[in-house]
Amino acid sequence: MREIVNKIFLFVIISTLILPMGCAKKSQPMKAPFFEAKGLDGKIYTLNDYKGKYLFLIFWATWCPTCKKELKNLAANYESLEKAGIKVLLACMDKNPEAVKKTAEDNGFANMPIAIVSDQMMVDYQWVRFLPTGVLIDPSGTIIERFVGELPVEEVIKAVRGQNR
């Protein structure tokens, strides 16, 4: 387990130092890479599941204190996101489903769908360098906004309403 966490930590550090900044600039809309990730509920979640819907895809880890704080706040506002037509998927970088489930339960966000990031998803979303990172994807599969650190529910809803004008 520790080896996996160390690899993920090393990946994040190396990504921060090597990868170019600005992979998803507002001036250049970027299609969200296809993903497939196994949920804690046993379901396989894919980008295609959200075709025609807004998706707030959030990358996080069990060892990240900011992630726990932000996801607890997000869980308290989960209904607001759903009412605004925004689906949520928490994509955890940790590979141990039991630890992920316990963290979600202990921190009050087990009410939202949670999936374990696959190795391919980690590669395809390699520009995610900091946790938590929220990626707002529109119904056509285009990334319209990224949120790093803070996951402001009001801003997410505002971004979707701005798209619908």
CATH fold of 2-163, please? Answer: Glutaredoxin (3.40.30)
Geometric angle at alpha carbon 96, from 40 and 39, rounded to 5°: 20
Give me the sheet containing 114-116, strands edge to edge: 30-31, 142-148, 133-137, 54-60, 86-92, 114-116, 36-39, 44-46
Placement of tokens 């141990």 in the chain: 96
Residue 72 has pLDDT above 70, yes or no: yes
Q: Where are the domains of the chain?
A: 2-163
d(CA 112, CA 44): 15
What pTM was estimated for this model as a whole?
A: 0.82
Confidence of residue 28 (pLDDT cuts 50, 70, 90): confident
Q: Round the average pLDDT of the chain to a whole number and report it.
A: 87
pLDDT band at 29 (very low <50, low <70, confident <90, very high): confident
For residue 165, what pLDDT band results from cuts at 50, 70 and 90? low
19: pLDDT strictly greater than 70:
no
Instruction: Evaluate if residue 9 carries a pLDDT over 80.
Output: no
Mean pLDDT for the stretch of residues 73-100: 96
Query: Which residue(s) pair with 45 in the sheet?
Result: 37
Confidence of residue 114 (pLDDT cuts 50, 70, 90): very high
pLDDT(27) > 80: no
**Confidence band, pLDDT 50/70/90 cuts, at residue 147:** very high
pLDDT band at 164 (very low <50, low <70, confident <90, very high): confident
| Tokens representing residue 73 in the block | 């706040």
pLDDT > 80? residue 1: no
| Mean pLDDT across 105-120 | 96
| Rounded average pLDDT over 27-33 | 84
